[in-house]
Structure 1
Amino acid sequence: MDCRESEVAMPPTGTPASPAKASAAPAPARHTFRSVAPVLALCWLAVFFDGMDVSVYGAVMPHMLDDPSLGLAPGAAGTIGSWTTFGMLLGALGTGTLTDWLGRRPVLVASIVLFSAASAVCALAGSPALFGAGRFLAGLGLGGLMPICLSLVMEFAPPRRTALATGLLMTSFHVGGMVATGLGLALAPGLGWRSVFWAGALPAVIAAPLLLRLLPESPGVLLAKGRSAEADAVADRYGMARPAPADAPPPGAKGRLDGIRALFRPGVRAATPLLWLASFCGLLLVYGVSTWLPQMMRATGYGLTSSVSFLLIINAGGIVGMFVAGRTADRFGPVTVSALWFLLTAAGALLLGSRLPLGLTYVVVALTGIWLFSAQTMVYAAADRLYPPAGRATGLGWVTGIGRTGAVAGPWLGGTLAAAGNDQLGFTAFALAGLLGAVAIGLVAVTGRGRRD
């Protein structure tokens, strides 16, 4: 039996309750998507701005390369993309410790303020070095945002609907990518690429106040801080089972080390590095394609406007893919869906490396978007199945953090190939990453059973 079923069936406090206490407790709301919609909506907004910031660089890169005042070469452009994702690696790995000290909500808000300020630095930059420093700072903020939002949504989501909830959350990443591309198409030709980065400073004004006012803290984190009454109140408000001590993240430095050791306990010790490898491949694809797709398509022979519009189309496909993958994974399991999606991504990347008619190219780009982005998202959903509630934030933090090395490698790989005049080889490299990701996540089903039991 899935252990989440037993968790839901437990008494609200995790211990037998007396009749008097049971009658005094307020009747919780029914645990449905509607009851947790406010949390999902607020996290959706945060990840929307994440996707917008990640995609904005790829959307304006052709204009930046054509700007003689900046002096940005293709090789340096790829390196700067890797600085961003290296910052995201550090941000993701440091998030768990910070949330133990401060809570998830304040760290999430701080992450948004940081990458918004960094976008303003990029808009003001007069050299590749200063621009790269701004992107590195943005990466620190972006790296902390995703694990927090994923952990919150998975914690608040109804049992057996975490894959769908994760997919719904990640649609925002691609809506943000589409908006960034639209801003690049609308603003960069007339107002310059800097205007698009000024738009990237808006999240601090829009999202941060809303999250501070409306986003609830994690019941598990509240319980770990000794605020059990507040934890129970939040759980009751959103129709969740009240957190038990076993659901709370371990406190203190020793507890955090125990949380990391738990990633290698019997039953998951082989699956954990496979999840890391799958996440590496998935994020290499996500950030490599988001950064270099317009330039690679331009090298294949398409015009500048068409090349940038492909980024819009692939993100639109990503939105559809999140709905499809989430519903399918709740039925067949995220491991199976992720492996199949990785294989289809590899096939799509190989097709894009050939010069197809424009209409057919748009279709292939859209289909590749359906598979590419949700393949990685289902890796996150697989981590939720693999690790228990107390280790979920740690497990997700390390899956996303180690995976960020792929996010570093993707833009760097595209830039290296572009600098050597081999832009089109990027499609072959991305296809190989898709194949390796399929093998890694497929083996999770064998070594870790792909779900908790």
Structure 2
Amino acid sequence: MERNAAAGDALYDTRLNSRHLMVMFWCSMLMLFDGYDLVIYGSILPQLMHDWQLSPVTAGFIGSSALFGMMVGALTLGSSSDRFGRRRIILLCLVVFGVAAFGNAFCTNTTEFTLCRFLTGVGLGGMVPNIVALMTEMSPRSKRNIMVTIMLSFFSVGGVIAALSGKAITPAFGWRANFLIAGIPLLFFPVFFKWLPESLSYLIAQRRHAEAEPLLRRYAPDYQGTAASLAGMSDDLGHAQPRMRAAELFSHGRAVDTVLLWIAFGMCMLMVYGLNTWLPKLMAANGYSLGSSLTFLITLNIGAVIGGLFSGWLADRHGGKPTLILFFAVAAVSIGLLGYRQSPLVLNILLMAAGATTIGTLCIVHAFAAQLYPAGIRSTGVGWAAAAGRFGAVAGPALGGYLLSQQFSIGFNFLVFAIPGVVAAIAVLLISNRRVRAEHSVAALAPRAE
């Protein structure tokens, strides 16, 4: 077990207090903006296709542009905070995605619209790994899974708001009004600048003891040691160059687990973004009205909120690995069954189950990834996993557009989106139990509060 783990878990034994909850609140608001900005495209897509006479393939390409941007953002901004700090990169990402999403309201052609969606993705892709790392590092160990998944579940809250916005605002004010709402995060920048803390683990890893000491007193008031004593137990990963940090993902027996984690991320994101982009169109093609189809998107994201919260609770009690395997298996079954006409009750149950085990699973897979790596490379590990997963995210909207253009049966289309759930479950199953147990092994090294 890496010596760095002790410093990376400075709050290992601390009790939950209002400071931890405040960090969770602000990070949750950022995730809400993330969910709104991504899901809003699927909500306005039918109207946009009608107004601009877009083909399914073109619409799928535009949808994938934001997700390709997220891959770029995760690889660059997502891993930069291990060098520049979580807080600084999060604030930069807020400005990038806020300006770009707001700009979509004023686009006059597909080129401008695609560019804004790409830049929105860059900002969001850089932000998510960093708020996951920040939340992981500023949470007590006993509450870590549930706090990270509560935060990440706000992606789905944003998705529900986006679906409601698309259903209520678009008919009255047009699809552009939805992107005016997407600029609201910019108004909150001064609030985040004042209240969002820097990661204690990052400050310790960088030997910035003077800045770390007051945070240690606020977030771990019962801890008897000092920031300097915590830093004494860490290695030099905090000072490693970006390329060295990336190489660390494949050292110390991590190579196979890292690749398997990337596969799980990719398959999960393919299902998440494929469904969020194309569910209204797929359900309309299955004979439902457009209004009902947007309601199905709301149901999907309500299920995601429930699934995100439940997955965190389950992971804290039974571990992230078995929770992920169970959720991916349920995702495959529920998505596959959506391709067949069901009674209203069964249909809504399947939609909620699909949302809970795809978007909801995205919550726990981020928490799982954050705990797979020590603090010195945590943001890099989550960022690169998220970036690898964006290949699946990019493929989701593009795949849906291709399937619709080929006029395959609806049952076949949903079956294609169900297969990644099986692949992801197998990938998680093969991840080393030794690595999964690392989180619990820290206890032997972490300094204890009296």
TM-score using structure 2 length: 0.90
Residue 104 of structure 2 is aligned to residue 117 of structure 1? no
Equivalent pair of 1:341/1:375 in contact (CA under 8 Å)? yes
What are the within-5 Å matches in structure 2 for residues 19-418 of structure 1?
30-32=14-16, 34-67=18-51, 70-206=52-188, 208-239=189-220, 242=227, 243-244=230-231, 250=237, 255-418=241-404
CA distance 1:4–1:290, shift in 2 (3 Å): farther
* Counterpart residue type for residue 402 of structure 1: A
- Give the match for residue 441 of structure 1: 428
Where does residue 18 of structure 1 map in the other structure? none
Partners of 2:94 and 2:197 in 1: how far apart?
Answer: 17
Q: Which has the higher contact order (CA 8 A, sep 6+)?
A: 2
Which whole-Å CA distance do the structure 2 matches of 1:97 and 1:170 have between them? Answer: 19
Q: Contact 2:8–2:376 at 8 Å: present in 1 too?
A: no
Distance 1:181 1:423, change over 3 A: farther
The answer on whether the counterparts of 1:385 and 1:450 sit within 8 Å (CA) in structure 2 is no
2:18, 2:277 → 1: CA distance? Answer: 36
In structure 2, C-alpha distance between the alignment counterparts of 1:245 and 1:172, rounded to whole Å: 37
Closer, same or farther in 2 for the Cα pair 1:386/1:52, shift >3 Å? same
Structure 1 pair 213–35 and aligned structure 2 pair: CA distance change class (3 A):
closer
Is the alpha carbon distance of 1:35 and 1:122 closer, same or farther for their aligned partners in structure 2, counting shifts above 3 Å? closer
CA contact (8 A) 1:221 1:248 kept: no
What SS does the corresponding residue of 1:66 show, helix, strand or coil? helix
Percent of pairs identical after alignment? Answer: 33
Cα deviation, residue 404, structure 1: 1.1
Structure 1 residue 379: deviation in Å? Answer: 1.9
Instruction: Return the offset for 1:143.
Output: 0.4
CA contact (8 A) 2:202 2:238 kept: no
Bigger drift between 168-177 and 96-105 goes to 96-105
Range with bigger deviation, 142-151 or 1-10: 1-10
Which of 432, 435, 438 aligns to 2:419? It is 432
Give the whole-Å Cα distance in 2 for the aligned partners of 1:366 and 1:33: 33
Contact 1:414 1:423 in 2 (8 A): no
Stretches of structure 1 lacking an aligned partner (at least 5 in a row) = 15-28
Maintained 8 Å contact 1:221/1:249: no
- The one-character-per-residue Cα deviations of 1:86-137 (angstroms, maximum 9, x if unpaired) are 1000100112553245422222122112112112221111111211111011
Residue 355 of structure 1 and its aligned partner are, at CA, apart by 1.1
Unaligned stretches of 5+ in structure 2? 442-450
**Given that residues 350 and 431 in structure 1 are in contact (C-alpha distance below 8 angstroms), is that contact kept between their aligned partners in structure 2?**
yes
Name the CA distance, whole Å, in 2 between partners of 1:255 and 1:4.
Answer: 16
Secondary structure of the residue aligned to 1:270 is helix
Q: Check conservation: 2:7, 2:234, Cα contact below 8 A.
A: no
Instruction: Flag the 1:6–1:149 CA change in 2: closer, same or farther, 3 A.
Output: closer
Amino acid at match of 1:405: F
Aligned equivalents of 1:415, 1:9: Cα separation in 2 = 44
Asked whether the 8 Å contact 2:31–2:154 carries over to 1, the reply is yes
Give the count of matched residue pairs: 433
- Say which is worse superposed, 381-390 or 279-288, in terms of deviation: 381-390
Across the aligned residues of Structure 1 and Structure 2, the Cα RMSD in angstroms comes to 2.5
